[in-house]
């Protein structure tokens, strides 16, 4: 969604600055202490040319047990809740900003699953993106993304149809349409380990406050909605397989996610 694409763009752009030195990476994945009450305090995002990891940082602020602020180097998000679920995310385009320039809202079904996410620009004057979620027997089976122009559907739409093996999405069939009749289609395939999905531990709120969700597209949702962890991803049956791996601490908390054995995210915790 655009509010999250904008935040992700800020994060990844800053990773290319010389100020992000290799020294910054020292000690980022140390074991948390032995306390059982631990919360994510920072997440480090890796990105760099020629497979050289460069680091950026997300900082989490809590009100009781709810994440209410997510701070990046050049902007931040705040979250509003109802019944423990995030209902609105506000985007601020600088660390000193006091008024959000863009925001998104979320509505939910009676069973707690997310039904719709809308993204607004110009202080709420323009609806620009809509994500609609469809379920069958509690499983996400379809995502429809619609781009809006001047608060009306533009004719640009992506529809993702998800196929399961057990409780894991193993196939995503995508149909892209546009008002000019030049749409396309694609199919993505996923494989999994046998461990509990690390990203789904945050519940539905992980759609909004997990680092993986900062730039999500429909083909990313299997990482969030499946029972186990994605270990392989490819486009069409003969495409190159992207290998994912995960490092956890002794208590099972996620420390690092890798792709092709290169770091993508690393987590730091504060424990009481």
**Per-residue pLDDT at 50 exceeds 70:** no
Distance from C-alpha of 14 to C-alpha of 9, rounded to nearest angstrom = 9
Looking at residue 3, its pLDDT comes to 55
Q: For the CA atoms of the chain, what is the radius of gyration?
A: 19
Provide the whole-model pTM.
0.85
pLDDT 10s digits, 163-211 = 999 999 999 999 999 999 888 999 999 999 999 998 887 788 988 988 7
**Per-residue pLDDT at 52 exceeds 50:** no
More confident residue, 126 or 20: 126
The three-class DSSP label of residue 32 is: coil
Distance from C-alpha of 58 to C-alpha of 73, rounded to nearest angstrom = 8
Other Cβ atoms less than 10 A from the Cβ of 111: the count is 8
**Per-residue pLDDT at 25 exceeds 50:** no
Q: In percent, how much of the chain has pLDDT > 90? A: 59
Looking at residue 31, its pLDDT comes to 44
8 A C-beta contact, residue 255 and residue 249: yes
pLDDT 10s digits, 206-257 = 889 887 666 678 888 999 999 999 999 998 877 888 999 999 988 888 999 9
Distance from C-alpha of 140 to C-alpha of 98, rounded to nearest angstrom = 36
The three-class DSSP label of residue 198 is: coil
| Cα pseudo-dihedral 138, 142, 143, 149, rounded to 10 | -130
8 A C-beta contact, residue 159 and residue 142: yes
Looking at residue 16, its pLDDT comes to 32
Instruction: Tell the burial category of 190 from Cβ atoms under 10 Å away from its Cβ (0-12, 13-18, 19+).
Output: buried
Looking at residue 74, its pLDDT comes to 86
Looking at residue 36, its pLDDT comes to 64
- Bridge partners (DSSP) of residue 234 are 189
Confidence band of 18 (pLDDT split at 50, 70, 90): very low
Q: Mind listing the domains of the chain with CATH numbers?
A: 2-271 (2.40.160)
**Per-residue pLDDT at 90 exceeds 80:** yes
pLDDT 10s digits, 95-148 = 999 999 999 999 999 999 999 999 999 878 899 999 999 999 999 999 999 999
Looking at residue 21, its pLDDT comes to 28
8 A C-beta contact, residue 205 and residue 245: no
**Per-residue pLDDT at 152 exceeds 90:** yes
Mean pLDDT of 43-67: 78
Looking at residue 124, its pLDDT comes to 81
**Per-residue pLDDT at 17 exceeds 60:** no
Q: What secondary structure letter does DSSP report for 94?
A: S
Does an H or E element contain 223, and which? helix 222-225
Distance from C-alpha of 74 to C-alpha of 10, rounded to nearest angstrom = 7
Q: In percent, how much of the chain has pLDDT > 70? A: 82
């Amino acid at each position: 969604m655009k509010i999250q694409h904008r935040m992700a763009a800020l994060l990844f752009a800053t990773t290319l600055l010389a100020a992000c030195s290799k020294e910054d990476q020292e000690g980022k994945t140390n074991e948390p202490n032995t306390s059982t009450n631990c919360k994510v305090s920072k997440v480090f995002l890796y990105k760099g040319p020629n497979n050289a990891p460069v680091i950026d940082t997300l900082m989490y602020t809590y009100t009781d047990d709810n994440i209410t602020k997510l701070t990046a180097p050049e902007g931040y998000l705040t979250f509003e809740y109802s019944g423990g679920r995030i209902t609105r995310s506000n985007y601020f385009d600088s660390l000193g900003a006091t008024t959000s320039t863009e925001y998104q809202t979320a509505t939910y079904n009676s069973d707690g699953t997310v039904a719709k996410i809308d993204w607004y620009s110009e202080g709420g004057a323009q609806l620009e993106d809509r994500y609609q979620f469809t379920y069958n027997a509690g499983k996400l089976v379809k995502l429809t993304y619609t781009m809006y122009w001047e608060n009306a559907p533009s004719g640009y739409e992506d529809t993702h149809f998800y196929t399961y093996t057990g409780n894991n999405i193993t196939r995503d069939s995508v149909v892209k349409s546009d008002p000019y009749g030049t749409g396309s289609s694609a199919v993505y395939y996923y494989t999994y380990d046998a461990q509990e999905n690390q990203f789904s531990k945050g519940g539905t709120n992980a759609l909004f406050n997990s680092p993986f969700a900062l730039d999500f597209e429909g083909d990313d949702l299997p990482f969030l909605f499946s029972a186990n962890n994605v270990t392989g991803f490819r486009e069409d049956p003969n495409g190159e397989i992207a290998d994912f791996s995960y490092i956890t601490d002794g208590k099972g908390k996620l420390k690092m996610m890798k792709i092709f054995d290169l770091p993508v995210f690393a987590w730091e915790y504060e424990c009481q």
